[in-house]
Amino acid sequence: MDVTQIAQLLNQTLSLDGNAVRTSTEALDRLSSLPHFPFALLSIAAGGQNQGQRTAASTYLKNFARRNIEVHDGSSSKVSKEFKAQLMRTLLQAEPSVLKVLVEAFRIIVVAEFVKQNSWPELVPELRSAIQSSNVISNVANCEWSTINALTVLHALVRPFQYFLNPKVAKEPVPPQLELIAKEILAPLLTVFHHLVEKAIATNSRKEMETEKILLLICKCLYFAVRSYMPSAVTPLLPSFCHGLIRILGSLSLDHGDTSEDEYFLRLKTGKRALLIFCSLTTRHRKYSDKLMPDIINCVLKIVKCSSIVSKLDFLSERIISLAFNVVSHVLETGPGWRLVSPHFSFLLESAILPALMLNEKDILEWEEDAEEYIRKNLPSELEEISGWREDLFTARKSAINLLGVISMSKWPSIGSSNNGSSASSKRKKGEKNKKNNQRSVGELLVLPCLSKFPIPSDATASDSRILKDYFGVLMAYGGLQDFLREQKSARTTTVVHTRVLPLYSVSFCPPYLVAAASWVLGELASCLPEEMSADIYTSLLKALAMPDKEDTSCYPVRVAAAGAIAGLLENEYLPPEWLPLLQVVITRIGNEDEENIILFQLLNSVVEAGNENIVIHIPHIISSLVDAISKSIHPSLEPWPHVVVRGFEALAVMAQSWETFVLEEVEQNDSSEKQASGQAAIARALSALLQQAWLTVPLEAEASPPPSCIDHSSTLLRSIILSVTGSNVIVELKLPELLLVWADLISDWHAWEESEDMSVFDCIKEVVSLHSKYGLENFIVRQIPPAPAPPVPQRSIIEAISAFVSEAILQYPSATWRACSCVHMLLHVPNYSCETEGVKLSLAVVFSRAAFSHFRGVRSKPCSLWKPPLLAIASCYLYYPDTVEAILEKEEDGGFATWASALAFACSRSSGIGLPAKSEIKLMVMTLVKMIERLLGVGNPSSGLLRDCFTSLIETSIQLKELDEEMEDEQNDEESEDDDNNDDDDEEEIQDDDEESESEHEETEEEFLERYARAASALENGIVEEGDAEDQDLEIELGTLEEVDQQRIILSLIGRYHHALIQGQALSSQLVSNFINAFPDCSSFFQQSIQSRVQRVLPFVSKELSQSESGTSLLYYLVSVLTKVETMIKELKEALCFVLSVEFWRIAILWTISLLTSYFQLHSRRLFSRKAQSYPRCHPPISESLGPVCVITGATSGLGAAAAHALSREGFYVVLVGRSSHLLSKIMTDIRTQTEDACVRAFEVDLSSFQSILEFKGSLQQWLLDCKMDSSIQLLINNAGILATSSRLTPEGYDQSLPALTLMLNTCTSLYIICFLNQTVSKLYLPGCKKVNILHFL
């Protein structure tokens, strides 16, 4: 491969010519399959002609690694040792721009090779050597390696460990890779960290930029190392390191003013990282940080004092103050932390928290220039558009409010008079029980009195800016007290709101920012507001919601804050006394500005969802008003639609669903009226007009089509229109055929899939099919050819476009599988197809069967419950066109029809565990199995296994259908009595529920949370949480005209026509036939001959007359079933007797037991009868000059294997652990290294029940010995792996995992070692029976 050619192609990718870029990229993609291509990219990245070429090579290498390096547990390494070595050299010498890109490729390789597989043993030693010999650490001027580059590589190496690697483990130990990094690299770095800090602080000049960068990188590396784990090598160095961080924070001058200097900017970033480390230590690793808390608190208290000048600080400086507040909060939540922070409560409140909350010049400027940003920072709410700091904003005000809430919730030690000792002793238990109730909170004793000192603005003080700005901070503080006020009596909240918040709405010249803050406070306190204040609160908020803009000041944030507060109140079920005033204000405000309309539409959604029956009577009028407002913003040429239109359609969809629920309740109560009918008609006309403007303004014949916006909400609106149809004239009036054509075309090409959106589309499909069945829709099955001058090209009909959407859903979207497959049944069975339209039905069957079978092939290896939807979809297609479906399945896969038929038969059986809860599913299965059996019998092979499986499943499914019919009859008969019983027990159930809720209310501990999280992660990985919702799986499928088919008649007809081939040729179980005869007595005559033959075989003395009589059939068959069980028992007893008489039984069960008992007797007899216990010197293995002896232990994760690993590691062996579980291997390695610090341990994940896995292990072991420059031999092999197989299970190679198979595998492992290390001498081979311990001692 020519490196120059690749360099030229990379240069062409930087060209401004698009064709040249595309051509060169395609050429590079073709060359990427060559083995030396990544080496060439590294060469160019290290020594390219110019920076652009080097950066391009690094970028392509990053993308190449992302595409080609996949992480699979247990898979072998794909990256060669030579490439990894060259990559390390390039990283250590690369320029900053190239290093920034190249380190991303390194991170991808690290995750695959080091984190997941731990197959890069030389990485840590090489990186440690590079750091030690780098320019700054070694203090050598002309050094080959750059310290900053080496630490950047270390940063990329440690970064994957910032999160837990195995979420399935509740308490995950420190990964051995991170322990190795900490021991070899981080610990030595921390020892020199203090000197680097002193050097940086002592010399404040530009030449120390490199030192500042090194300090920042070290802090980043340690932050990622301790964010989730705590490596043992780091813990003893934490005090010294933290004191260095405190020195760095102490050197910061946040009032420095100018942060443009690079070295000071780096110092600020290091300070930010130091505070993040303190947060991690105080939350995740308390036992290591308790002694450091006094110094940490003293440090951060100096930082939070600067909150008074936060308006003059840049973002990074404000972020440091925010983090300092967070550190105080975390420390305060700990036991020792409260004692440290509580003496500073007054200082924090008056000198740090309140100054951070008060209004400043930056806030006023932001209000005027960027109101949206001001709202997100200062007035966040539940509305999506103004979620603010609930997501990712980090401001000093946010952190100060959080700290104030923590302080308010703190309990002050109770102070009371002490009585005599006997009285105190007698009341001790009761006092301990009520201890928390007797303690008063800091919020009650300190916070509220402090806030009450600030006077509330009035008309007389409206011009005093100091009072206004201070009171803004007071309102912000009240907003952070919701948890504290929730625990207090409602009278305290009433006092605060009545005297400190609501009066602001009555001040004539109250500044808008105070009104906005007051509205935000009401929204924050929604969960603790008393009901009696509802009228006053909603009156005030409606006044703010309707507040117009003033001359020079926009009141948009005031209205937004009021909308957010009302939404918060409704979310907490704090409802207004009257709904109509609220609706009037909201509807009146809609239509002014798009930004405000977006907020109002979201508020309207909350109002409609919370109002229910109070709102629903106004919905027709509201929809008509909204349609007029939305129509003004719809421009068919715009793609996609404006955000305000999307929010408007969402609001209309919510109201349409609420109206539908209301109508259904009215119908159930037989209370429908003309008013309800006229309301439905008004809604339909308004929505139809809106969709016509959105979709039909573009001519259908034109090439342009409406934008695919709001498909989900549009489907809901279209469904609401369909539900209003009462006749064919209404369909024409509402232009439903035209709207449905556009809608079907839109969904056929729609790929913006979301799980929450597919519901409305599928629901609309169901209503469209139902509408066609009632009235017949134009262009539904066959679309008319458009008139001239349009070209006479046939276009897709409605059902064809819908089928394209359904088939794509089956293929691409797992969450929609159940609903999409339900649509398959509906589209095939419900419409009435004529001879002229039969071709359309055939095309649908072809598309659906192909998509369903493709989906089935994808889930075939997953749990069987995922098979049912595609299997049933193919079954519906097969009923109509068996020849076509068989051809399609065979074309998709050799033996595809047999695969599907076998899976279908298995799904019907009770042993599959899939289950058919819906009666329509069972009916479809019965009809499909009958059709399949008839065709298989036509082939002429009645003894085939597929036919036997299908007939057995048909019998089981028929019995299940009969049982379901009987259960439904019983339920109908018992319905009235059950209702009476339920009514009688309602009160008792409510009382019981209340008791259960009170008992279950407890705070989840950290251990409980981690265990629950681990269980959820394990379930997710095992595929338990899979496709579709549980509700979807119980849906009845639409069978249309097939519902009229008598399943019992077709079953009896099939058995009557083919009973000789079906019954005589199949080995049906006695119990199955007995159950079938009980369910269908008319079929007993067909089984007479089978019963007679079996009775004559088992009971030859029974007379032929008894067996032929109708009354004796059941008795004879009962005898057959009993005697069959007896035969089975006799057969099992014979097998057991043969095993007892076998040599293996006597050798293992008798002789081995005797030998063990003899050994124990000899051992204990020496202790009992010898006067002096004999001791034997420990026999140490021979140790080579360079390394200790190598020992391989299989089954080393527990029991004898783990004990041997611990013992041999203490004796100086290099222990190689072999096991199936990577997690258990990691745990045992950590335990060994904890007990023996200098232990040499290596782990390999191997499945000893698989020949292939053993062979791969042999190669991996040989390669590891070579890579580590060790002698290619082992000195000890302990074959300890074994299982206790309670049932017959096959290995991947088809062997049974029993004792012989285990012996075979272990002998294979031993043989491979003997072959692999043939040049060694076997001195001893010990084979003690079942638990093989093969000890190979090589001289």
What does the alpha-carbon distance between residue 1283 and residue 1252 come to, in Å, rounded to a whole number? 19
Say if residue 252's pLDDT is above 80.
yes
Per-residue pLDDT, 1259: 76
Residue 185's pLDDT band (cuts 50, 70, 90): very high
For residues 512 and 476, the answer to whether their CB atoms sit within 8 Å is no
Tens of pLDDT, residue by residue over 274-298, are 999 999 999 888 888 888 999 999 9
**pLDDT above 70 for 342:** yes
Q: How sure is the predictor about 1320, in pLDDT bands with cuts at 50, 70 and 90?
A: very low
pLDDT of residue 990: 45
The pLDDT of residue 1239 = 85
Q: What is the mean pLDDT of residues 509-524?
A: 93
pLDDT, greater one: 1009 or 1322: 1009
Q: What pLDDT is stored for residue 500 in this prediction?
A: 94
Lowest mean pLDDT among 230-234, 531-535, 1105-1109: 1105-1109
Highest averaged pLDDT of the listed ranges 132-146, 610-624, 1148-1162: 610-624
CA dihedral sign, ordered 970, 973, 977, 978 = positive
The mean of the pLDDT values for the chain is 80
Q: Per-residue pLDDT for 41 more than 50?
A: yes
Asked if 731 contacts 737 with a C-beta cutoff of 8 angstroms, the reply is yes
Using the predicted structure, report yes or no on whether residue 705 has a pLDDT greater than 60: yes
Poorest-confidence range of 98-112, 435-449, 886-900? 435-449
Do 1291 and 1297 meet the contact criterion of CB atoms below 8 Å apart? Answer: yes
In this structure, what is the dihedral angle of CA atoms 7, 11, 17, 21, given to the nearest 10 degrees? 40
* Dihedral angle sign, alpha carbons of residues 908, 909, 913, 919: positive
Structure-token match 């009229």, residue found: 1044
Q: Taking residues 1055-1076, report their average pLDDT.
A: 67
Taking every pair of Cα atoms in the chain, the longest distance, rounded to a whole number of angstroms, is: 119
pLDDT at 1166: 60
Which of 1207, 1259, 1250, 1249 lies closest to 1228 in space, CA to CA?
1207
**Rounded mean pLDDT, 669-680:** 74
- Alpha-carbon distance of 1208 to 1276, in angstroms, equals 10
The region of weakest confidence among 68-72, 794-798, 879-883, 1167-1171 is 1167-1171
Among 497-501, 858-862, 1039-1043, the range scoring the smallest mean pLDDT is 858-862
Tally of CB atoms within 10 A around 96 = 11
Give the CB-side neighbour count of residue 1270, counting CA atoms within 13 A. 20
Q: In Å, how far are 902, 925, 929 from 887, measured between CA atoms?
A: 16, 21, 18
* pLDDT average, residue stretch 951-957: 82
Of the listed ranges 590-594, 930-934, 1025-1029, 1065-1069, the one predicted with least confidence = 1025-1029
Number of continuous H segments (helices) and E segments (strands) in the chain? 65, 6
| Six token digits for residue 1248 | 């000893």
Q: What is the mean pLDDT of residues 186-211?
A: 83
Query: What confidence score (pLDDT) does residue 671 get?
Result: 57
Distance CA 35, CA 136 (A): 37
Maximum mean pLDDT: which of 411-415, 621-625, 1008-1012, 1256-1260: 621-625
Residue 1171: is its pLDDT beyond 70?
no
Phi first, then psi, for residue 1242 (nearest 5°) are -140, 145
Range with the poorest average pLDDT among 334-338, 371-375, 1318-1322: 1318-1322
1002 by DSSP, 3-state: which? coil
Would you state the pLDDT for residue 1284?
A: 56
CA dihedral 720, 721, 724, 730 (to 10 degrees): -170
pLDDT-derived band at 1085 (thresholds 50, 70, 90) equals low
Of all residues in the chain, the percent with pLDDT exceeding 90 is 38
**221-to-128, 159, 185, 234 alpha-carbon distances in Å:** 14, 7, 10, 12
Residue 555's pLDDT band (cuts 50, 70, 90)? very high
787 vs 220, residue with greater confidence:
220
Closest C-alpha among 423, 397, 407 to residue 475:
397
Tokens 């009958």 label which residue?
Answer: 930
Q: Which helix (H) or strand (E) holds 1217?
A: strand 1214-1219
Distance CA 78, CA 109 (A): 10
**Does position 507 have pLDDT exceeding 50, yes or no?**
yes
What separation in angstroms does the CA of 315 have from each of 261, 269, 391? 15, 11, 17
Q: Which long-range contacts (CB under 8 A, 24 or more apart) does 1109-1112 make?
A: 1110/1084
Which one is predicted more confidently, 15 or 982? 15
Q: Higher pLDDT residue, 345 or 1258?
A: 345
CA–CA dist 127, 120 (Å, integer): 12
Answer yes or no: is pLDDT of 332 > 70. Answer: yes
In tens, the pLDDT along 606-633 reads: 999 998 888 888 999 999 999 999 998 8
Check whether 972 has a pLDDT greater than 70.
Answer: no
What's the rounded Cα separation, in Å, for the pair 357 and 352?
9
pLDDT at res. 350:
94
Q: How many CB atoms lie within 10 A of CB 548?
A: 8
pTM exceeds 0.85 for this model: no
Report pLDDT for 517.
Answer: 96
Q: What is the pLDDT of residue 236?
A: 93
Q: What tokens appear for 1330 in the block?
A: 């079942």
Instruction: Answer whether residue 1332 shows pLDDT above 60.
Output: no
pLDDT at 794: 63
- 150 vs 89: CA distance, rounded Å: 10
pLDDT for the residue numbered 418: 40
Greater confidence (617 vs 1149) lies with 617
Residue 222, pLDDT score:
95
Using CA atoms, how far apart are residues 377 and 447, in angstroms rounded to an integer?
A: 23
| pLDDT for the residue 788 | 58
Nearest by Cα to 211 from 136, 106, 131, 109:
136
Q: Is the dihedral of CA 927, 928, 931, 933 positive or negative?
A: negative
How high is the pLDDT of residue 919? 82
pLDDT band at 1004 (very low <50, low <70, confident <90, very high): low
Cis preceding-peptide flag for 640 (omega within 30 of 0): yes
Confidence of residue 1175 (pLDDT cuts 50, 70, 90): very low
Report the pLDDT value the prediction gives residue 270, as an integer from 0 to 100: 94
